[in-house]
């Protein structure tokens, strides 16, 4: 039995989403923006006239992502940030506004679904860091904060997570949904706060897993019969961020090819 990704391309198209109403040059901060869904979101953002602040713990990968953004004709900057470290987050929020109006935030960074170690430590890294980044953003930007998207998962929200997933992960991702709904009600709708729940997605973390022939049977549960491309998640994220989604607030959007309802 072949692996899930045998013969598949690893990336989908990047769409120009300027028609969604973004103001050219407004800044979107993407945590974990140097790879996977985060990088796809950065590239879609700059193609759609936004400036991207790439926050990542891997400085080399973040600089490489800047070059990819610039090759698309966009504007981006890399910031070496550990989202679990308050001092690191403070420094990043000191520096990021130099790019422009920090209207948008995508909370994407977090530990892998199979990360080992303390349940509470991983829960703090996955969910507590999101509150740290968000609370500092709201303090700095205030009413200039327009919209944010948090990355949840179908794990913890529509399914248990499976045998290869650590206990903290579905727990944290269910928490992301609760946190999203909480924030959506707190500030008179500004910022709007939504979440996406990716299903199986092609990223550097998942490609080795999906290359295993034993995993191919999982695809039978997905009506579209394949994993998502990270660019497909990016398109959903950009839509929810955008002025075109101006009356969408507190939503969890599964982007999973129909897996959650199969």
Give the residue numbers marked as catalytic. Answer: 169
Nearest to 232 by CA among 203, 211, 204, 262: 203
What span, in angstroms and rounded, lies between the C-alpha atoms of 163 and 245? 36
What span, in angstroms and rounded, lies between the C-alpha atoms of 245 and 172? 26
Nearest to 55 by CA among 63, 46, 44, 67: 63
What span, in angstroms and rounded, lies between the C-alpha atoms of 82 and 108? 13
The answer to whether 42 touches 33, Cβ cutoff 8 Å, is: yes
Ramachandran region of residue 15, left (φ > 0), alpha (ψ -120 to 50) or beta? beta
Tell me how crowded residue 94 is: count the other CB atoms within 10 A of its CB. 11
- Token code pair at residue 230: 């990270």
φ, ψ dihedrals at 200, nearest 5°: -70, 120
Helices (H), 36-118: 36-47, 59-71, 86-95
């Amino acid at each position: 039995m072949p692996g899930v990704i045998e013969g598949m391309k690893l990336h989908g198209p990047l769409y120009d989403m300027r028609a969604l109403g973004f103001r050219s040059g407004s800044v979107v901060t993407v945590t974990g923006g140097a790879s996977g869904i985060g990088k796809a979101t950065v590239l879609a953002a700059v193609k759609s006239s936004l400036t991207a602040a790439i926050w990542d713990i891997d400085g080399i990968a973040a600089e490489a992502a800047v070059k990819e953004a610039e090759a698309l004709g966009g504007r981006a900057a890399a910031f070496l940030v550990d989202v679990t470290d308050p001092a690191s987050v403070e420094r990043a929020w000191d520096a990021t506004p130099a790019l422009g109006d920090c209207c948008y935030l995508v909370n994407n960074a977090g530990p892998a679904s199979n990360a080992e170690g303390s349940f509470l430590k991983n829960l703090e890294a996955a969910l507590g860091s999101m509150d740290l980044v968000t609370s500092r953003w709201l303090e700095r930007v205030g009413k200039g904060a327009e919209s944010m998207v948090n990355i949840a998962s179908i794990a913890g929200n529509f399914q248990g997570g499976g045998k290869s997933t650590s206990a903290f992960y579905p727990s944290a991702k269910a928490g992301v949904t609760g946190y999203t709904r909480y924030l959506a009600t707190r500030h008179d709708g500004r910022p709007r706060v939504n979440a996406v729940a990716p299903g199986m997605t092609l990223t550097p973390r998942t490609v080795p897993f999906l290359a295993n022939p034993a995993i191919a049977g999982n695809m039978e549960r997905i009506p579209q019969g394949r994993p998502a491309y990270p660019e497909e998640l990016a398109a959903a994220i950009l839509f929810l961020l955008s002025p075109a989604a101006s009356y969408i607030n507190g939503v969890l959007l599964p982007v999973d090819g129909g897996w959650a309802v199969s």
